[in-house]
């Protein structure tokens, strides 16, 4: 049975962001509509400025914020805005400069324009998650735009919301191999573990494909008694750091494989060892 995994890590769960510059979503907001988003030409490891597409009326306020996975880089507002009665792409919504981050740092750049306090009926928002490089060499991971409340607002939220996984059978037999399929892991390492309590029975880590997908095969030890509750855990992160983690229970079904008896002569009792502990390299 196909089973979708649930979110375990305490990171905000928001609506799914789109990848790349997307077609504008339907807007219930009569004051301002977000129409596109991209990084500004100046964006780099010390500048998270955005290019905002919008159609606005008499908006009065704006706000901006840039974050890494664990730090604030820049934040301003809410304060007055010059984007009232604007129709087009504003090419340089400035976020930065801030202290230069290491090449490849993941940065989330967020903005809203509308009325303070903001709501879905009077404000639009934009978000870009990117891996920074020299100007013009950034890699965009996720983009989002729409009415206020549509998008993630930090780098951590942007990474967490797009990560999902399924397991192809949640009632595997002893000795059976199941396949975990994940998507939305836009970090260097993905991995999966089959857990019996705190003991890992099988697992592996892989490099996700450029679109964030990966697969891991997990084998239930042949000596696992039917009815045993195990857990499949799927991780996404860096070497030495798990950023997002998903998990679901699986129940071992079927019957325990037996070895045919060929002799009535008593033999010494032996203990079958459990599978060796295997842990994705990046889990802490």
The DSSP annotation for the chain comes to: --EE-EE-S-----PPPBSSS-PPPP---SSEEEEEEEE-TT-SSS---EEEEEEESS--EEEEEEE-SS-EEEEEEEEE-S-TT-EEEEEEE-----SPPPTT-EEEEEEEEE-SSP-TTT-EEEEEEEE--STT--EEEEEEEEETTSS--SHHHHHHHT-EEEES-SSPPTT-EEEEEEE---SSEEEEEEEETTEEEEEEEEPPPTTS-EEEEEE--TTPPTT-EEEEEEEEEETTEEEEEEEEEEE--S----PPP---S------PPPPPP---TT--
pLDDT band at 3 (very low <50, low <70, confident <90, very high): very low
Higher pLDDT, 176 or 280: 176
Report pLDDT for 259.
46
Max avg pLDDT among 55-59, 157-161, 271-275: 55-59
Mean pLDDT throughout 7-31? 45
Report pLDDT for 37.
98
Report pLDDT for 252.
97
Q: What is the pLDDT of residues 249-268, one digit of tens each?
A: 999 997 655 444 443 333 33
Report pLDDT for 267.
34
Report pLDDT for 161.
81
Which phi and psi (to 5°) does residue 161 adopt? -70, -25
CATH of segment(s) 3-9+163-251? 2.60.40.230
pLDDT above 80: residue 280: no
> What are the structural domain ranges in the chain?
3-9+163-251, 32-160
Average pLDDT of the chain to the nearest whole number: 83
Report pLDDT for 242.
87
For residue 244, give the H/E element and its range: strand 241-251
Q: What is the pLDDT of residues 225-257, one digit of tens each?
A: 999 999 999 999 888 888 889 999 999 997 655
Report pLDDT for 244.
86
Higher pLDDT, 147 or 270: 147
Residue 164 burial (CB count, 10 A): 19
Q: What is the pLDDT of residues 118-147, one digit of tens each?
A: 999 999 999 999 999 977 799 998 899 999
pLDDT above 50: residue 185: yes
Report pLDDT for 241.
82
pLDDT above 60: residue 199: yes
Looking at 214-267, list the stretches that DSSP marks H as alpha helix, in order from N- to C-terminal side: none
pTM score over 0.85: no
Parallel, antiparallel or unpaired: strands 199-206 and 139-147:
unpaired
Report pLDDT for 27.
67
pLDDT above 90: residue 1: no
């Amino acid at each position: 049975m196909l089973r979708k995994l649930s979110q375990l890590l305490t990171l905000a769960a928001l609506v799914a962001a789109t990848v790349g510059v997307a077609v504008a979503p339907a807007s219930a907001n009569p004051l301002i509509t977000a129409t596109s988003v991209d990084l500004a030409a100046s964006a780099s490891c010390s500048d998270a400025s955005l290019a905002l597409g919008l159609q606005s009326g008499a908006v009065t306020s704006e706000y901006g914020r840039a974050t890494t996975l664990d730090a604030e880089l820049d934040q301003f507002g809410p304060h007055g805005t010059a984007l009232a009665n604007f129709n087009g792409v504003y090419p340089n919504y400035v976020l930065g400069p801030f202290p230069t981050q290491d090449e490849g740092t993941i940065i989330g750049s967020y903005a809203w324009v509308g009325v303070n306090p903001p709501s879905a009926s009077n404000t639009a928002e934009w978000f870009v998650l990117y891996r920074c490089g020299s100007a013009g060499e950034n890699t965009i991971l996720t983009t989002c735009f729409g009415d206020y409340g549509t998008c993630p607002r930090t780098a951590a939220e942007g990474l967490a919301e797009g990560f999902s996984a399924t397991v192809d059978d949640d009632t595997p037999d002893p000795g059976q191999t199941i396949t975990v399929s994940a998507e939305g892991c836009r970090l260097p390492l993905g991995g999966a573990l089959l857990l019996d309590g705190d003991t890992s029975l099988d697992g592996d880590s892989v490099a996700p494909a450029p679109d964030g997908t990966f697969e891991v095969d997990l084998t239930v030890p042949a000596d696992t008694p039917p009815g045993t509750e195990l857990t499949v855990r799927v991780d996404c992160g860096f070497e030495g750091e798990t950023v997002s983690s998903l998990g679901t229970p699986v129940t071992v079904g079927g019957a325990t494989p037996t070895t045919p008896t060929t002799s009535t002569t008593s033999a010494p009792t032996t203990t079958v060892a459990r599978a060796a502990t295997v842990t994705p390299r990046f889990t802490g």
